[in-house]
Structure formats: C-alpha cells, structure tokens
Amino acid sequence: MRYIVGVDVGGTNLVVGTVPEDGSSLYGYQMEPTDVAGGPDGAVKQIERLVTVSLSQARAELGADIDIAGIGIGAPGPLDTHSGTVLLTPNLGWTDMPLRDRVSSALGLPATLDNDANCAVLGEWWRGAAQGGKIVLGLTIGTGIGGGIVLDGKIFHGASDVAGEFGHASIDQSGRKCNCGNYGCLEAYAAGPAIARRALEGIEAGADSVLPQYVNGALDRLTAKTVSEAARDGDAFCLEVIRETAHILGGAIANLVNILNPDVVVICGGVTAAGSHLFDPMCNEVRQRAFRPGVRACRIVPGSLPGTAGVYGAAASYMAQAWGTD
C-alpha cells in the first residue's frame, strides 16, 4: 500500500491528511488557518510543517516504513496544472506562484497541483456522496463558489484548467458586477458572504429573527453557516434567506443540467447545514426549470466529507497525475 499526503490550501484554512491509495482512511489530519500574511514563503513553510506532522502521525499509527508516494496539492485558481503554478489568487495575494515545485523541494517528495474545488468534487466522487457517478458536477460554496467536473472518475480540466468555474457563470447578464470582471456571476448572489449580507441587511432593517443570538449579537460575525443553522432550528427569517438562496442555486443548477446532463450534482460547504430547508426548494427549482430527462437522470446531494473532501481529492488527483494518464 502506498500513501499520499493530501494538502488543501484554502483562503481560510489549510488542511492536510495522509491517505492510503485505496482511500480507506485518513491519517494525521491537520487543520490551521492559512498563513496569508506570510505570503508565498509563509504558506510553503506552513505546508511543510503540517505535512511533516501529518506524516509523523501516520507513521506512528501505521509503522515507520510506510511507502509515501508523494504530495497532492489543491489550491485556489486560476492555476496551471502542467507547470504546477498558481497564476493568481486574490484571497491569498499570490501571482505566478510555483507552489508544486516549492512544496516538492521543501519536503523532498514528488508533488502535483490541482484546483481546490476540482479536488473537493473528486474527493466526493472517490469517497463521499458522489460515489458511483459517471458525470459528476460539484459546487463548493464558501467565500466564493468553486466548481468541478468529474467524468468517469477523472477531473475534466478543459483546455487550460479553467473548466468547472460554475461560480463565474452569469445568472443575469446585466446583473451585479463580479470581482472577476463578469456581470451577474452566481458567486455574487449565493456565495457565503452574499448569503450573510442578505441576512445582515434584513436584520438591520428590523427583521424578527433569533439570528443575532447565534453570534452573541456580533452581527459582523454572521456567516452563511450561522444563517443555515438558525434556519435549520426554525427561524422564519433565516428560512426565507435560505429559500431565496435555494431558488438562485436551483436556477444555476438547472442550467448545468441542460448544459452537461450530469447524474450527480454534489453541493459542498457550510450552507448545506440548512439541510432540507435548502435542498427541497433548490431541487424543486431545478425540476421546474431543467429538461425532464435531465432532471430524472440527476441526483442532487450534499457533500458527505466536510473538511476532508479536498484532502481526499488532492490525494486522488496526485494519483491521476503521477500514475495515471492525466
């Protein structure tokens, strides 16, 4: 059995774990806030440290002589998988950062790089909620909205590693200007901050809600997750915010059904904490908008590996790139 270290570099958290090639478990799980202030050097040092800790924990559990094949890294894009370079990450402030080779040098192990959302979707296909899917689309809803396409168990990268940027498909051509330069991007309406902002606006306008109690009155700490939790606990105002989000997401997913006709759509991120309050109206919106044979063929599910899908997927991406035909 060979082992791969999966590294999930997020704008918020850095997550690392050691995964056997059969994906049966995850050893030496590590999570820390990403060292953003330290720039590329800080991040590489932090990755080096967490990988070292993860490996030593894995060795303590499995034996000192386990076969470590390499390191699979998932990072925010746009990036170039061939050169292993992160081209630009607004959240981390990196430009043309040769992350793959820097991590590989620091740890003396071969490494691969892929988009973080691609990795999360691949992880859900490999070990999570999208198992068995042949045409799997995933949305990762967090600070932004990432996405990934997994066809027959392989990440579909497109011609230049851009494929799957579902958060930057417009849902209204003359809509809200997005950071990316486009107008009306899904991300501008349904990412975590947009959900929190809609809730905050409602609270400030006097909505009757228990939501402030979830953040001890510190409204600037509202997140999509707190809104989702309050909705799940029955708060009517938060339920409405979630329902609005569900309609927006459902419309976007309907487009993906008509464009790609997937058999699985997996939704990842804190917003899935809202459970059926999100999924019921969302799936209903998809049913009303998309072609019937497309709706019938597709199951829409929440991710089942919160916090670890990206690590599993980064390890799987390593195997595909280093051992496979990718």
Q: Which residues bind its own copies (CB under 8 A)?
A: 78, 80, 87, 134-135, 147, 149, 157-166, 168-175, 180-184, 247-248, 251-252, 254-263, 288-294, 296-298
- By the 8 A CB rule, do 260 and 151 touch? no
At closest approach, how far in Å is the CB of 74 from its own copies?
Answer: 18
Query: What DSSP state is assigned to residue 110?
Result: -
The answer to whether 42 and 109 have CB atoms below 8 angstroms apart is no
In whole angstroms, how close is the CB of 31 to its own copies at the nearest point?
A: 29
Measured CA to CA, the distance from residue 303 to residue 289 in angstroms comes to: 23
- Output 56 or 288, the one with its CB closest to its own copies: 288
Rounded to a whole number of angstroms, the minimum distance from the CB of residue 58 to its own copies is 35
User: What does each C-alpha distance from 175 to 184, 202, 243 come to in angstroms?
Assistant: 4, 21, 20
Residues whose CB falls within 8 Å of the CB of residue 323, separated by 6 or more in sequence, listed in order? none
Q: How far is the CB of 146 from its own copies (least distance, A)?
A: 12
Name which of 48 and 172 has its Cβ closer to its own copies. 172
* Residue whose structure tokens are 């600037």: 220
Q: Which is nearer to its own copies, 79 or 200 (CB)?
A: 79
Q: Which residue lies nearer to its own copies by CB, 123 or 164?
A: 164
**CA-to-CA distance for 317 and 76, rounded, in angstroms?**
15
C-beta of 265: minimal distance to its own copies in Å?
A: 11
Q: Which is nearer to its own copies, 216 or 292 (CB)?
A: 292
CB of 95 to its own copies, least distance (A): 13
Least distance between its own copies and beta carbon 161 (Å): 7
CB 154 within 8 A of CB 320: yes
Looking at the DSSP bridge assignments, the partners of residue 223 are none
Provide, rounded to whole angstroms, the least separation between the CB of residue 152 and its own copies: 11
Query: Which residue's CB is nearer to its own copies, number 229 or number 244?
Result: 244
The nearer residue to its own copies, 169 or 215, going by C-beta atoms, is: 169
CA 269 to chain centre: 7
**DSSP of 182-231:** -BSBTHHHHSHHHHHHHHHHHHHTT---SHHHHTTT-GGG--HHHHHHHH
B/e letters for 235-269, b = 16+ CB within 10 Å, e = fewer, are bebbbbbbbebbbbbbbbbbbbbeebbbebbbbbb
**Looking at residue 178, what DSSP letter applies?**
P
Task: Considering the complex, state which of residue 30 and residue 115 has its C-beta at the smaller distance from its own copies.
Answer: 115
